[in-house]
Amino acid sequence: MKSLIPALLLIFCLAVVSLFVGVSDVSLWSVLNGTADQRQVMILLASRVPRTIALLLAGSGIAIAGMILQMLARNRFVEPSTTGTVESAGLGMLVVLLLAPDMPVMAKMLVAAVFALAGTGMFLAVLRAIPLRSVLMVPLVGIMLGGMISAVTTFFAYRFDLFQSMGAWANGDFSAVLRGRYETLWVAFALTIAAYIAADRFTVAGMGEEFSTNLGLNYRRIMAIGLVIVSMVTASVVVTAGVVPFLGLIVPNIVSMAMGDNLRKSLPWIGICGAGLILACDIVGRTINAPFEIPVGTVLGIIGSLFFLYLLLRRQSRVA
Amino acid sequence: MIGISGVSKSYGQTVVIDDVSLTLPKGGLTSIIGPNGAGKSTLMSMIARLLPIDRGTVMVDGLDVALTAGDALAKRLSILRQDNHLAARLTVSDLVSFGRYPYSKGRLTDEDRGHIERALTYLGLDELKHRFLDELSGGQRQRAFVAMVLAQDTDYMLFDEPLNNLDIRHAVAMMKLLRDAAKDLGKTVVVVLHDINFASCYSDHIVVMRRGRLFRQGVPEEIIREEILIETYETDFKVRDMDGNRIATFY
Ligand SMILES: Nc1ncnc2c1ncn2[C@@H]1O[C@H](COP(=O)(O)OP(=O)(O)OP(=O)(O)O)[C@@H](O)[C@H]1O
Ligand SMILES: [Mg+2]
């Protein structure tokens, strides 16, 4: 637990950097010695601080959701964007745009969460119905399911001329996060705390239904709780910033390699590393091609796909 | 006492457990033997409520396993299955700690820690306790799983082929450990065994399953007999008395 402190300090430094990177020039120094003008303080409070907080909450939330999903599906290769969760949340957003575009953000998030829940539940039901021989089939099934759901979304988005608005969330981007538009992410944060409280249950569930039953854990109930957490966290991130791919895959796998899957020990690390990775990717995306921004979803997409390949190749070499 | 009455199980059209009624006395070590596919694991899983029972009931100390709350039963009865594969990456001591989950729900007390340490020591895992399960040999992993069940410290302990992957020294140690648990701690231990001579030397009671049915049951002297073994396994056997034990040879 003690070694968490340096890690937290590192996150804090990244967060400070994140606050002072951007097109408009706001410097840490001018804020500290009071020479910053009103416009600069305004930018900091209305845009930079919300963006950084949103990144922290989304990063830790998605990483933890990814880990829980891996325990529930008992598969290392799944995360919200390979289980149909993200795509279902997107479909939910489309439904909101079509039927009740003026809903408050929180209500939008809840609708998206209900869709995400249904989609992820369907994925897990498929896994139960067809026991898969290969671990790689599991994410493939999820990606196929997600593809089907997003095809439906695309079809209706075209029909109703909503393609522009739907396109915006397809790639995670925190540049539009403003005060008043990211607060649903606190729901994700509350749920990650809940996940930590139930950490031992998720670890037991990760040992499988028979182990759980032997230890007196109600397997179905913990599956349901896990599904709700994963769906709500994913939906709140998708509604706020869009799809953040691969984060829920990379972070849990790295932490698992280093310290195993006893979630009581590893969940805090997963949260911290998730926040750190997304902050770092966001900073890279904002500086590498300044003054233009590369969305964090794109940066993560590149890093994540490389990491995914590494995981696959590593597995091959261990089997061989 | 475990009371099994009229239990049946089918998969589709295939009946794999056919109307089995059986009483396993409280205390002592009972071995279940029988050829592959006889239904030993299926029966054991139904006793431990891991598999739904199609027909019939299983009562453990007067509690119907199908109706009793899962967490209450987890403090009375534990099971180690035949194949254990974990997707989660846990250390040996993590795994054994989860044996205490029914009592502590994750918040370990000193008493829990005592059980965990003892289980690790009994199974000779002190040196290995910080290793990950996927970094162990098959036999070491098997011992870790047994230690977990031991830490669960229930009155009834079911082990499906606990000698899997164990070398001779560890197999003997395991059987002694289980017998001592029955004798000294008053546990009721039920094991599925393929090694007939272990069953013969260590059991108080032997149950023979064949083709989904209860074939014979009794004390070792009644069961370890040439005609019964030949009929059970459809293989030639010779049974000798050695140092007061009945030993079967079958080459
Ligand atoms: N899920 C299942 N679906 C269909 N048939 C099954 C299933 N599980 C077990 N069976 C069948 O039930 C029968 C009993 O299986 P069981 O595992 O109980 O045998 P066993 O006595 O434990 O054998 P072994 O000594 O090989 O462990 C076997 O014929 C098996 O093929
Ligand atoms: Mg078996």
Provide ipTM, 2 decimals: 0.92
Shortest Cα–Cα distance, A191 to chain B (Å): 19
CB proximity A19 to B under 8 Å: no
Q: What is the residue with the minimal CA distance to atom 26 of ligand 1?
A: B36
Residue ranges of domains in chain A: 7-170+180-315
Which tokens in the block code for residue B161? 């082929």
- B4-42, pLDDT tens digit by residue? 999 999 999 999 999 999 999 999 999 999 999 999 999
Instruction: Indicate whether A207 pLDDT > 50.
Output: yes
pLDDT-above-90 percentage for chain A: 47
CB proximity B152 to A under 8 Å: yes
CA B242 from chain center: how many Å?
A: 26
Band of pLDDT at residue A65, cut at 50, 70 and 90: very high
Find tokens 């229930």 and name the residue: B154
pLDDT at B121: 95
- B160-214, pLDDT tens digit by residue? 999 999 999 999 999 999 999 999 999 999 999 999 999 999 999 999 999 999 9
Query: Residue B81: its chain A contacts at CB < 8 A?
Result: 210
* Strand arrangement, sheet containing B14-24: B14-24, B2-11, B55-60, B63-64
pLDDT at A24: 65
Residue A89 contacts residue A241 (beta carbons within 8 Å): no
A123: part of which helix (H) or strand (E)?
A: helix A105-129
Which tokens in the block code for residue A79? 């995360």
Query: Of residues A249 and A46, which shows the higher confidence score?
Result: A249
CA B13 from chain center: how many Å?
A: 28
Phi, psi of B191 (to 5 degrees): -125, 140
Report how far residue B251's alpha carbon sits from residue B232's, in angstroms, rounded to the nearest whole number. Answer: 16
pLDDT at A316: 58
Domains contained in chain B, number:
1
Band of pLDDT at residue A2, cut at 50, 70 and 90: low
Which tokens in the block code for residue A26? 């706001």
Q: Are strands B188-192 and B28-33 parallel, antiparallel or unpaired?
A: parallel
Side-chain-side CA neighbours of A198 within 13 Å: the count stands at: 23
Q: Is A190 helix (H, G, I), strand (E, B) or coil?
A: helix
Instruction: Indicate whether B145 pLDDT > 90.
Output: yes
Instruction: Indicate whether A32 pLDDT > 80.
Output: no
Question: How many C-beta atoms surround the C-beta of residue B8 within 10 A?
Answer: 16
Probe ligand 1: pick from B40, B161, B193, B232, max atoms within 8 Å of CB?
B40
Query: Of residues A173 and B221, which shows the higher confidence score?
Result: B221
* Strand arrangement, sheet containing B28-33: B77-80, B156-160, B188-192, B28-33, B205-210, B213-218
Domain contains B219: no
Domain contains B178: no
Report how far residue B173's alpha carbon sits from residue B150's, in angstroms, rounded to the nearest whole number. Answer: 14
Interchain pair B88, A264: CB under 8 A: no
The ligand 1 atom nearest the CA atom of B44:
18
pLDDT at A291: 78
pLDDT at A317: 57
- A188-199, pLDDT tens digit by residue? 999 999 999 999
- A266-275, pLDDT tens digit by residue? 999 999 999 9
Instruction: Indicate whether A48 pLDDT > 90.
Output: no
| DSSP state string for chain B | -EEEEEEEEEETTEEEEEEEEEEEPSSEEEEEE--TTSSHHHHHHHHTTSS--SEEEEEETTEETTTS-HHHHTTTEEEE-S----SS--BHHHHHHHTTHHHHTT---HHHHHHHHHHHHHTT-GGGTTSBGGGS-HHHHHHHHHHHHHHH--SEEEEESTTTT--HHHHHHHHHHHHHHHHHH--EEEEE-S-HHHHHHH-SEEEEEETTEEEEEE-HHHHS-HHHHHHHHSS--EEEEETTEEEEE--
Q: What is the residue with the minimal CA distance to atom 13 of ligand 1?
A: B37
Band of pLDDT at residue A136, cut at 50, 70 and 90: confident
Instruction: Given CATH 1.10.3470.10, say whether it is the number of domain A7-170+180-315.
Output: yes
Instruction: Indicate whether A307 pLDDT > 70.
Output: yes
Residue B57: exposure state from Cβ atoms within 10 A (0-12, 13-18, ≥19)? middle
CB proximity A104 to B under 8 Å: no
CB proximity A7 to B under 8 Å: no
pLDDT at A63: 96
CA A121 from chain center: how many Å?
A: 18
For residue A29, give Cα distances in angstroms to A20, A32, A48.
10, 5, 15
Residue A50 contacts residue A22 (beta carbons within 8 Å): no
Residue A24 contacts residue A51 (beta carbons within 8 Å): no
> What angle do the packed helices A199-206 and A49-73 form, to 10 degrees?
40
Report how far residue A110's alpha carbon sits from residue A116's, in angstroms, rounded to the nearest whole number. Answer: 10
pLDDT at A320: 41
Report how far residue A35's alpha carbon sits from residue B68's, in angstroms, rounded to the nearest whole number. Answer: 70
Average pLDDT of chain B, as a whole number = 93
pLDDT at A1: 60
Which tokens in the block code for residue B25? 């006395």
Domain contains B12: no
Query: Of residues A152 and A320, which shows the higher confidence score?
Result: A152
Pocket of ligand 1 contains residue B42 by CB under 6 Å: yes
Query: Residue B86: its chain A contacts at CB < 8 A?
Result: 206-208, 211
pLDDT-above-70 percentage for chain A: 93
Q: What is the residue with the minimal CA distance to atom 17 of ligand 1?
A: B41
Q: Which residue of A has its CA nearest to B108?
A: A200
Mean pLDDT comparison of A93-102, A131-140, A306-315, B86-95, highest-scoring range: B86-95
Instruction: Indicate whether A319 pLDDT > 50.
Output: no
Q: What is the pTM of this model?
A: 0.91
Range of the domain at B101: 80-153
